[in-house]
């Protein structure tokens, strides 16, 4: 059974607005108690944006808040280009995350359909159903979208096509769609395309990056995809953001600390991370930027070995950078504190540019080049520090694919 809080609020508000002299004092008292409970005691308080949510402490554990629709403003015309109706947020003692609620018309719905399980609070950067590996070269460029299950070790199946054959993109995941941004056709592109998770289907072109580029990193928050760094054809430091709620172009929201490409991307509940890459020279730097505000960039630490072309994955607590040029190292760095990464295991072989996918329990790396193209699907556990194991094959061996998950 699922309770639609929006409809309850609407019903109570309508009841209160309709109150007249025929209502008893007891009935009026009940209405006021309900309103006060929902809006003040431990219920639903409305905020204009996520930034206004109060800092968490033990006093608000379990509180639900409603955040009004987010707006994306076109700075050139000062006009709103997109919005959504808003979301309920729940404080779990560590962070605010979106609360999943029924959206049907009844107040109590015993037949509500559950969507895909969410990742860590505040992000879709982990999945519980499937991993996806998109694009790459064989050596010809391909548009293949492969899907493989998280519940069992199995080979991938071809479930659709990107809008173009391309490589060296950034990958992102909302709760309903996989996204690819930028890449190489040949020729650098600024395309953002998406495909649905609910059905096996081809991707559609839904927007553009502010700067066309390849060899960039992707990050994912609850409401946006981020595209960081890349080659355009010079090295760039741009961080672009685009919305999941509507199909729209990205906006430039900040810069990395330096121009770099062939970087790995990771996402915590509150920050996007970029690790390794070429500036040039080859770098081991780990940087992060907050999802809640623009421009602010932090230097977090360093990988155990400087390298480019690593695969980025993440648990709810840690970021991982796997492989990269000439190494098979799996590095781990914590989200809770800013610290250097540590070597916690090995891939099955040393290879560059695998796609990274994250389930709630394991990190996956698919494809890549070593220098021969690979079809390997391999995984390593988040719960313990261990080597990766080969658990299946992509439909075709390829280098420079990118990953998504649901």
Domain boundaries, the chain: 2-109, 130-405
Q: How many helices (H) and strands (E) does the chain have?
A: 2, 32
Beta bridge partners of 147: 132, 157
**CATH class assigned to 130-405:** mainly beta
Q: Are strands 311-314 and 298-302 parallel, antiparallel or unpaired?
A: unpaired
C-alpha span between 108 and 118 (Å, rounded):
22
Q: For 273, list phi and psi in degrees, rounded to 5.
A: -125, 150
pLDDT number for residue 64: 72
Helix (H) or strand (E) holding 130: strand 130-134
DSSP conformational letter for 93: S
Three-class HEC string of 106-121: CCEECCCCCCCCCCCC
The enclosing H or E element of 162 equals: none
Q: Indicate the pTM of the whole model.
A: 0.72
Q: What is the DSSP string of 8-62?
A: HHHHHHHHHHT--TTS-HHHHHHHHHHHHIIIIISSEEEESSGGGSPPP-GGGTT
Radius of gyration of the chain (CA): 22
Strands 144-149, 157-161: parallel, antiparallel or unpaired by DSSP?
Answer: antiparallel
* pLDDT tens per residue across all 406 residues of the chain: 344 555 555 555 566 556 665 666 555 555 555 555 554 444 456 665 665 677 766 566 666 776 655 444 444 444 333 334 456 666 666 666 666 543 333 322 323 233 333 334 446 899 999 999 999 999 999 999 999 999 999 999 999 999 999 999 999 999 999 999 999 999 999 999 999 999 999 999 999 999 999 999 999 999 999 999 999 999 999 999 999 999 999 999 999 999 999 999 999 999 999 999 999 999 999 999 999 987 688 999 999 999 999 999 999 999 999 999 989 999 999 999 999 999 999 999 999 999 999 999 999 999 999 889 999 999 999 999 999 999 999 999 999 999 999 9
């Amino acid at each position: 059974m699922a309770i639609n809080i929006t409809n309850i609020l609407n019903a109570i508000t309508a009841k209160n607005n309709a109150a007249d002299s025929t209502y008893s004092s007891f009935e009026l008292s009940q209405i006021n108690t309900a309103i006060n409970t929902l809006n003040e005691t431990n219920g639903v308080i409305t905020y204009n944006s996520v930034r206004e949510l109060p800092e968490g402490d033990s006093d608000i554990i379990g509180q639900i808040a409603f955040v009004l629709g987010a707006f994306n403003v076109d700075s050139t015309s000062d006009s709103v280009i997109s919005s959504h109706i808003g979301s309920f947020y729940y404080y779990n003692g560590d962070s605010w995350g979106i609360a999943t609620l029924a959206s049907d018309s009844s107040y109590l719905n015993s037949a509500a359909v559950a969507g895909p399980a969410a990742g860590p609070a505040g992000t879709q950067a982990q999945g519980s159903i499937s991993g996806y590996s998109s694009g790459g070269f064989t050596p010809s460029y391909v548009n293949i979208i492969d899907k493989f299950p998280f519940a069992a070790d199995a080979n991938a199946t071809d479930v659709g096509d990107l809008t173009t054959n391309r490589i060296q993109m950034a990958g992102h995941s909302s709760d309903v769609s996989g996204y690819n941004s930028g890449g190489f056709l040949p020729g650098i592109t600024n395309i953002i395309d998406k495909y649905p998770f609910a059905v096996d289907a081809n991707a559609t072109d839904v927007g553009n990056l502010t700067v066309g580029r390849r060899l960039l990193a992707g990050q994912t928050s609850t409401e946006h995809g981020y595209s960081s760094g890349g080659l355009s054809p010079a090295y760039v430091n741009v961080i672009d953001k685009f919305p999941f709620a509507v199909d729209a172009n990205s906006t430039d929201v900040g810069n990395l600390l330096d121009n770099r490409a062939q970087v790995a991307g990771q996402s915590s509940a509150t920050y996007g991370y970029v690790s390794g890459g070429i500036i040039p020279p080859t770098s081991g730097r780990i940087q992060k930027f907050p999802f809640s505000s623009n421009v602010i960039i932090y230097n977090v630490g360093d990988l155990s070995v400087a390298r480019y072309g690593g695969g980025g994955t993440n648990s709810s607590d840690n970021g991982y950078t796997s492989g990269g040029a000439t190494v098979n190292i799996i590095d781990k760095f914590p989200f809770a504190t800013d610290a250097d990464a540590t070597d916690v295991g090995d891939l099955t072989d040393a290879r560059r540019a695998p796609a990274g996918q994250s389930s709630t329990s394991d990190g996956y790396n698919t494809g890549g080049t070593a220098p021969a193209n690979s079809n390997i699907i391999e995984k390593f556990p988040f719960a313990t520090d261990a080597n990766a194991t080969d658990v299946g094959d992509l439909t075709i061996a390829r280098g420079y694919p990118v990953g998504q998950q649901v």
